[in-house]
Every structure is written in C-alpha cells, then in structure tokens.
Amino acid sequence: MYVTVILIVEECHQLRNIFGSTRHGPRSIFRAAAKHHNNGRDINFLKPSECRMAAECLQFLRVFRLKDAIQQATRDKVFVDYKRFSFVIKIVNCEEFWDTLFAMIQAIHPIYRILCLSDMKLGRMDKLKYYVCQTDRLLEDGMRNLMKKWSHPRMPTMDFSSCCLSKQDKDFLSGD
C-alpha cells in the first residue's frame, strides 16, 4: 500500500511541476484550459507547504478539481508535439488514475479534517472525537477500495525514471 500512496503523491507532484512551474509552454497551455473550465478564474496548483497541516491532502483535492483542465492541456496539439512530457499523457487520460486518486481522497478525508482542526486555534474536541471515530470506521474500507482501484487491469504503469522520487523511495520500489 505504501507504494500506491508514493506513486499517487509523486504523480500529483509531477503534474504540478509540469503545468504549474515556470516552464512557459506547458504552463500557458494549462492556464488557458484552466480559465476555460473555471469560468475565467485563474486556478492553479498548490505547492504543499511543510508548515501547514494537510497540505498534501489539499494538493490532491486541487489536482482532482483541475482534472478537466489537465486533460484538455494534454490533448492540445502544441503539448503533444512538445514530446518532452509525453509520459504524462497516458496517465492523465486514463480514467482509472482519476478513480484511484478519488478513492485516495475519500480514504484520507477524515484524517484531513483532523489535521485541519489541529491547524486552528479554536477548541474543537467534539469535532475531533467525531473525526477520530470516522477515521477508525472508514480508513480500512477506504484503503481496501484504493487497493482495488490500484490493481485494476487498465491502471497505467508509471514511469519511475521520470518521477522525482527520492533515492530511498526508488530503492524501496525497485526492491533493493
């Protein structure tokens, strides 16, 4: 299961690095598509911050929100002709990847709420107890659902050579 989570996190990082960074070509294609899908509003990727609780969860939610814009950007003729990021096209246009990302969001939502509560300066022990109980109740089923989606036969294989994985994660995934 650790491998599944790492790969989904790294794929979200890759999407942000390709479409949300300073690379002018992919970013301009993505911005036009994002404005089109968000009623003219400029909605971009979030970069997880180490000082904010649940930043990775927020990044998953934002990537899922930008699904249509990302898919439109990868279908653009200029992006396809660019070929430098062609490895992303297969993953982004595969519905199973988005189903798996949604299953992960569902599985970690109670944990996300707990982290958001801990980020506030208000006392919320009643809500904290509620979300701890929800986590106990939903996490196991959510992880089973996530693993079922991950092992779907049409789930694309992810290219580790293009991922920005740490050396420790690459060693873990390769079995060394």
The residue length of the chain stands at: 176
The DSSP symbol for 21 reads: S
The string of pLDDT tens digits covering residues 39-86 is 888 887 777 766 666 677 788 888 899 899 999 989 888 888 887 888
Count the neighbouring beta carbons within 10 Å of the beta carbon of residue 117. Answer: 19
Q: Is the pLDDT of residue 171 over 80?
A: no
Give the pLDDT confidence of 76-128 residue by residue, as tens digits: 888 888 878 888 888 888 888 888 888 888 888 887 777 777 767 776 677 77
Q: Give the per-residue pLDDT at 20.
A: 80
Taken in order 135, 141, 142, 147, is the CA torsion positive or negative? positive
